[in-house]
């Protein structure tokens, strides 16, 4: 919070794309960081080269284990809960719904409770920033028509997700149920919790492999059969692909932690592009890339505006626009030898 001298915070999911970048930003800003990871050695390999590691401590913690976060949140004033199960679907063929409920959703909800219980026990955590997802948002109304403006109130109905089982449906349900539980638990236990709703996050990365969200964004040129259907599914739910630069999403996490008036949910998108517009940027900036997989026909213009007005009204400002996000994603993949220009 502004004016608070104690700057010790805990971050979950620090072996991941957003979590690792958030640790980097917090260290740059002078915070003491308790980074949690299921595999501390993996976290250490990635984070030990950052500036300010004299203020970094890595803890082993797993959402599936009761009291696992007790040590990590001890003496912290804030928690950034970034970790989440990233299972997009399931290969199980029989009793799918029962399988997903028991093996994915219930453990994810219990994990949220475990973590927040550790915060209650700490007695020091003043605010929790929960990383939600734009997968919890839809641009369509009850009759299937596009809403002109999409904001935090446009929540995807869980019953529709169960019914349609579109690409990425397990992830959508997991984000919906963990966020709902986080707000419920926070209310019942007097925790100050705000959530941030990232759209597709892209740009540079610290992790050793291409982050899933970049694979989704770049799937029209890579032709990846696992990620392209996810991009198509996002476009059909939102009418376009909303984007944010990784540095901006991390700055927004810290902004929401430090801004005491913040409350509820905040969509954090700098703008959006339809799939044809993404392909246009890619082919004008990187003419050597040929669109390998671009079979479906899409409208060129987006039917809905995806609004981050609430976050902007609170005083947040983006540093990077949509073009920067796409260009930097490609450049970082080339730099890391993950794409050949
Ligand atoms: N990237 C995006 O475009 C995007 C968009 C919207 C929302 N989000 C949200 O942002 C958050 C981070 O996403 P990301 O892109 O950084 O994903 P990521 O790179 O896959 O990172 C996920 C992190 O969660 C950790 N994790 C998974 N299950 C866990 C468990 N049981 N206990 C403890 N940690 C666990 C992973 O640890 P391991 O290394 O041990 O697997 C990893 O550190 C997620 O909440 C995601 O829903 C991301």
Q: Domains of the chain (ranges plus CATH)?
A: 8-201+243-269+304-320 (3.40.50.720)
User: Each residue's pLDDT tens digit in the chain (341 positions)?
Assistant: 444 446 999 999 999 999 999 999 999 999 999 999 999 999 999 999 999 999 999 999 999 999 999 999 999 999 999 999 888 777 877 888 899 999 999 999 999 999 999 999 999 999 999 999 999 999 999 899 999 999 999 999 999 999 999 888 999 999 999 999 999 999 999 999 999 999 999 999 999 999 999 999 998 888 788 888 889 989 999 999 999 999 999 999 999 999 999 999 999 999 999 998 888 888 887 777 665 555 557 788 999 999 999 999 999 999 999 999 999 998 998 888 777 65
Does residue 196's CB lie within 6 angstroms of at least one atom of ligand 1?
Answer: no
Residue 323: active-site member: no
DSSP reduced 3-state for 241: strand
Q: Which one, of 48, 81, 277, 55, lies nearest residue 175 by Cα?
A: 81
CA of 12 to the centre of ligand 1 (A): 9
The pLDDT tens digits of the residues spanning 290-333 come to 655 555 577 889 999 999 999 999 999 999 999 999 999 989 98
> Can you read off the two tokens belonging to residue 37?
């990871």
> What is this structure's pTM?
0.95
Strands (E), the chain: 8-11, 32-37, 56-60, 78-81, 127-131, 149-150, 193-197, 200-202, 241-245, 264-267, 271-273, 305-306
Report how far apart, in Å, the C-alpha atoms of 114 and of each of 10, 12, 74 are. 15, 13, 14
User: Could you tell me which residues come within 8 angstroms of residue 69 by beta carbon, excluding any fewer than 6 positions away?
Assistant: 10, 12, 36, 59, 61, 114, 115, 118, 119
Distance 86 CA to ligand 1 centre (A): 6
What is the number of the ligand 1 atom nearest to the C-alpha of 38? 40
Among the listed residues 279, 280, 272, 276, the one whose alpha carbon sits nearest the alpha carbon of residue 304: 272
CB of 38 closer than 6 angstroms to any ligand 1 atom: yes
Mutate-to-test residue for ligand 1 from 86, 177, 218, 243, highest number of ligand atoms within 8 A of CB: 86
Ligand 1 pocket, residue 44 CB under 6 Å: no
Task: Concatenate the DSSP letters of all residues of 76-113 into one string.
Answer: -SEEEE------------SSHHHHHIIIIIHHHHHHHH
Catalytic residue among 42, 175, 187, 323: 175
């Amino acid at each position: 919070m502004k004016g608070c001298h104690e700057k010790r915070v805990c971050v979950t999911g620090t072996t991941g794309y957003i979590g690792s970048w958030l640790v980097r930003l917090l260290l740059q800003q002078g915070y003491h960081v308790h980074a949690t990871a299921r595999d501390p050695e993996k976290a250490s390999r990635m984070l030990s080269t950052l500036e300010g590691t004299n203020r970094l401590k890595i803890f082993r913690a797993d959402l599936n284990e009761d009291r696992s976060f007790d040590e990590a949140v001890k003496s912290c004033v804030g928690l950034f809960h970034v970790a989440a199960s990233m299972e997009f679907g399931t290969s199980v063929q029989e009793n799918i719904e029962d399988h997903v409920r028991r093996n994915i959703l219930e453990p994810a909800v219990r994990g949220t409770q475990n973590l927040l219980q550790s915060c209650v026990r700490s007695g020091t955590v003043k605010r929790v920033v929960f990383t939600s997802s734009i997968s919890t948002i839809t641009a369509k109304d009850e009759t299937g028509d596009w809403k002109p403006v999409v904001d935090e109130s446009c929540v995807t109905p869980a019953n529709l997700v169960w019914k349609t089982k579109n690409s990425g449906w397990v992830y959508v349900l997991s984000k919906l149920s963990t966020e709902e539980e986080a707000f419920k638990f926070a209310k019942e236990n007097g925790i100050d919790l705000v959530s941030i709703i990232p759209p597709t996050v892209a740009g540079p990365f610290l992790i050793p492999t291409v982050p899933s969200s970049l694979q989704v964004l770049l799937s029209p040129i890579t032709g990846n059969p696992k990620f392209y259907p996810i991009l198509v599914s996002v476009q059909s739910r939102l009418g376009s692909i909303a984007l944010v630069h990784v540095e901006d999403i991390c700055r927004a996490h810290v902004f929401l932690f430090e801004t005491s008036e913040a409350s509820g949910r905040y969509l954090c998108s700098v703008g959006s592009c339809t799939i044809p517009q993404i392909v246009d940027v890619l082919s004008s900036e990187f003419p050597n890339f040929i669109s390998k997989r671009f079979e479906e026909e899409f409208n060129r213009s987006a039917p809905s505006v995806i609004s981050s007005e609430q976050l902007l009204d609170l005083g947040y400002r983006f540093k990077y626009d949509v073009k920067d996000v796409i260009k930097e994603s490609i450049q970082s993949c080339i730099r890391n030898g993950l794409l050949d220009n």
